[in-house]
Chains A and B, each alone.
Chain A
Amino acid sequence: MRSVLLLVSLVAMALVAGAGASIPTLPDGFTLPPTNLPTTDPVAPTSSVAPIVTASGNQLQLVSTQLVPSVLMRGDRGTLVIEVANTGTAPVRISQATLTADGAVTVEDDPYRTVGLIGAGNRMSFTYSVRAGSPDGIAYPVFSLMVPDGRGLRVPVPIRVDSTGPVVSFIERPDVFTPGRSDLVVLSIGNPRQSTLNGVMVTPRGTGFTTKPSSVFIGELPRNGQSRAGFNLTPDENATLGFDLVYYNGQNRHVLPIALPVEYGKSKQRAELLLSNFVLEQTGGVYRLTGDINNAGLRPARSVVIAPGPEVEPADPYPRYVIGSLEPDDFASFELNFRAADGGPVPLVISYKDENGDAFEEHARATTQINQTGRGGSASPGEPVPLAWIVLGLVLVAGVGYLIVRSWRQ
């Protein structure tokens, strides 16, 4: 029976040696743990290998290692649980269990200075708190079990440190912000890590703005997963905008600040309302102004209303004119009635809303100069006399002159 176990051990050692060839820094005489380097989630699958025979003839087997979270980020604390089994027929006395730091990974506690017996067929777990430093990579803290006969179990436990954080990008945002107008900002949050992130939440930060919703909770973001968070932001003037992406890697809270540069101006796609084709008539002291309103922008304008400015007294029947919705490249006619103190320019106020209900106001002026005429729709006093009239005048001068001269010759 013992020879069979020895053969199995040799085979296992050969297999382990083959696996260890991929880890050039493995110290001599060390055995590999029964777990592979964690590359998948959930973390650290439990498996078993052939038992290791101690000098006293007892058999200790490192059954499994489990690290939570499975991949640490720089500065993270992780919990490493190492499970050892006594597969022999007699108890084994363990004097001390230690985990020695390696590389970027430090061990924060040493709770197993005295262990005691592990009964035959029993298992015992050893839990350590480890902390990841820098640089990123794989560290091999060594787990050692000391037994009185001087030979112990020494196992390097691979721990991966990878500080790659989630990736955030804006998949929708306005080209420029307009104070008082709400715009949709959508973030895409991707998880390129080989471990799941938990408690993922996006919260706007900054000053001088309102947002809806106030935050978006995503929750669990699996490895290679992606999620979106949308916000309607309404900045005031001089607002500072940004987002905080909060997520947990195991028990470790991380905050990723995301800057959102704010450039103020008029949106390139906004509705652009232009007035044209003014015709002014005056009846009974009341002006009647008609014209066209065009949407030369790229977005529709809703609830469009045209009204005279404060300097002008509105009059019936159209003290203001409601156009309603005006699609891009569309136009509508309007009519206004008002009383003006003089024949100067008439201020006009165009109010409308966008799709989000944000109100906008534009100002225009209709020229009603005191001497303005509408001959052919373009003439005004001081303009040259039409050529036809000049020709007629010359013909009349010539004709009358001829008749006068002729009357004196006869």
Chain B
Amino acid sequence: MSDVSILTLLTNPRRFFESLEERPVSLLRPALFVIVAAFISALSAYQISSLVATMMPELQGMGPLLGGIGAFSAFVMVLLMWVIYTAIFFAISMVFRGQGTFGRLLSYVGYGFLPQAIGGLISFALSWDLLSNLRVPSITDPTMIAEWTQSLMKDPTMRLASGISLLFILWSANIWIFGVRTGRRLSTRDAVITVGLPTLLFIVYSIVTMVL
């Protein structure tokens, strides 16, 4: 591991995970990447939640509280997604008679959150540029709030931010393929299917909700 840096994870993930194969499982660094990604996601969630809170007159003054709740939820959700992704990959790889512990796979999937942390940061900057100057009217009707939020999400800048997030999820999936291949001792083809299938479903779902 001493001769393999984090940069290698981004440029040559196969070599990076092969270098970890001989080492005991450590969740410290992967957890750090996941926490960074979760923190950035929490920032975005805080911004959106605060914004929506300002729309409702009865929730005036509760923006920080609602923002905090949203941020906490997003933070926990990313941590959960780490486990859920690993569980899904672990389950699918069982079909291909994959070998290797859940803990090691959890560690390898955690490394794959590094691109999402980078992409989350860029998306946050984009949405910040839009949302920080947004003048929010006072709305009491929940239907109107939903419509307003929907129209906001269809803003070109917000769509660009979503597209960038998907791009970095794609990058994460690429890293996960090599992580699953190494961590579960699968062929490249089986690793592509294990990671690609759920990732593809997630990306298609995201695109559909973004366009419609």
Binding site for B on A (CB under 8 A): 280-285, 287, 339-343, 368, 370-376, 379, 381-386, 389-390, 392-393, 396-397, 400, 403-404, 406-407, 410
Contact = CB atoms under 8 A, between A and B. Distances in A.
A407 B151 CA distance: 38
B152 A371 contact: yes
A343 B138 contact: yes
Interface residues of B, number: 40
Contact of A280 (B54, B60, B135, B151): B135
A381 B60 contact: no
B14 interface: yes
A342 B137 contact: yes
A16 to B, nearest CB: 102
A384 B134 CA distance: 16
Contacts of B54: 282
A396 B57 CA distance: 40
Contacts, number: 94
B122 A396 contact: yes
B21 interface: no
A396 B11 CA distance: 14
Interface stretch (B39-47, B93-101, B125-133): B125-133
Contact of B148 (A368, A371, A410): A371
A368 B135 contact: yes
Given A370-B137, A373-B130, A407 B164 contact: no
B177 to A, nearest CB: 9
B11 A383 contact: no
A313 B139 CA distance: 15
A357 B136 CA distance: 41
B168 A400 contact: yes
A229 B160 CA distance: 75
B156 A385 contact: yes
Given A397-B167, A400-B170, A284 B15 contact: no
B137 A407 contact: no
Interface of B: 10-15, 54, 57, 60-61, 115, 119, 122, 126, 129-130, 133-139, 148, 151-152, 154-157, 160, 163-164, 167-168, 170-171, 174-175, 178
Contacts of B174: 404, 407
Contact of A381 (B14, B122, B136, B151): B151
A280 B136 CA distance: 9
B130 A403 contact: no
Contacts of B12: 406-407, 410
Minimum-distance CB pairs A-B, first 10 = A343-B137, A285-B57, A374-B133, A381-B155, A284-B60, A385-B156, A404-B174, A285-B60, A375-B133, A400-B171
B165 to A, nearest CB: 11
Nearest to A407: B13
B122 to A, nearest CB: 7
B139 A342 contact: yes
A308 to B, nearest CB: 14
B167 A396 contact: yes
Nearest to A371: B151
Contacts of A393: 160, 163-164
B137 A400 contact: no
Contact of A389 (B13, B14, B133, B160): B160
